[in-house]
Amino acid sequence: MTKPTESQDFIQPSLNGPSAKLEASLSLAIHEHRLLPGTKLGEDELCDIYSVSRTVVRTALQSLSHSQLVDLKRNRGAFVAQPTIREAREVFEARSLLEPRTAYSAAERMTDEALALLEAHIAAEHEALEAGKPGKALRLSGQFHVDISRIADQSTIAGFIERLVARSSLIIAIYWKRQSALCEKHAHHALVDAFRRRDGSDAEALMKSHLLDILTALDLRDISDPPSKLRDVLKP
């Protein structure tokens, strides 16, 4: 395992070449909340910003729609996905069913290398917050959860969690009401401490409480307005 990097994403691009690069760039912008839910992803504008063909743009957008980061609407175009309040509750309910038990399994399988990776995530997350980059901190926080599922060595469940965490990023972008929605200040430290002790029961309880804290940090009423110009936020 390696330390977290700028380019790490929840769901790795499934393409090769220019489309993969565009997909990765848009995915990162979505996860870091530079592209907010509901933002229109105009093909002509993306072609101009990234100096690529319309075929490249359409291929990347199609792939992002498969990972549920982008909605393709007939005769209207592509938009950053905008989960509903009902879906927000369902996503966190699903996470609360999967992740606590996964944390238990991760504690049982924890290695020094895996522990170092999680500690590096926490350090990078705090560094991003101190630098005034909450979107980046959110992405790193999500990757922390994904890596726990990978450490648990349950590939099928890890795939579900990856997509749920990616969806959570969009949900938080719309509904968060305080910065602690990124992750409560000491929650990840407490989890890592449980992992260090290989205490599965404690890790399971902490993860359950942590996910509840994130949910209560959301205001499931207010909806953010998306920016109007892609060029204002996309810098390839």
Rounded Cα–Cα distance for residues 42 and 226 (Å): 14
Query: What is the per-residue pLDDT for 111?
Result: 96
pTM, full prediction: 0.74
> Which ranges of the chain have pLDDT less than 70?
1-16, 177-185, 221-229, 232, 235-236
Query: What is the per-residue pLDDT for 1?
Result: 45
Query: What is the per-residue pLDDT for 13?
Result: 47
Query: What is the per-residue pLDDT for 14?
Result: 47
User: So what CATH class is 18-82?
Assistant: mainly alpha
Query: What is the per-residue pLDDT for 73?
Result: 93
Instruction: Locate CATH 1.20.120.530 in the chain.
Output: 85-216
Contact present, 173 and 37 (Cβ < 8 Å) = yes
Query: What is the per-residue pLDDT for 160?
Result: 93
Query: What is the per-residue pLDDT for 134?
Result: 80
State the CATH architecture for 85-216.
Answer: Up-down Bundle (1.20)
**Segment 65-105, tens digit of pLDDT:** 988 889 999 989 999 998 999 999 999 999 999 999 999 99
Instruction: Locate CATH 1.10.10.10 in the chain.
Output: 18-82
Q: How many residues does the chain have?
A: 236
Query: What is the per-residue pLDDT for 23?
Result: 92
- Phi, psi of 219, rounded to the nearest 5 degrees: -100, 100
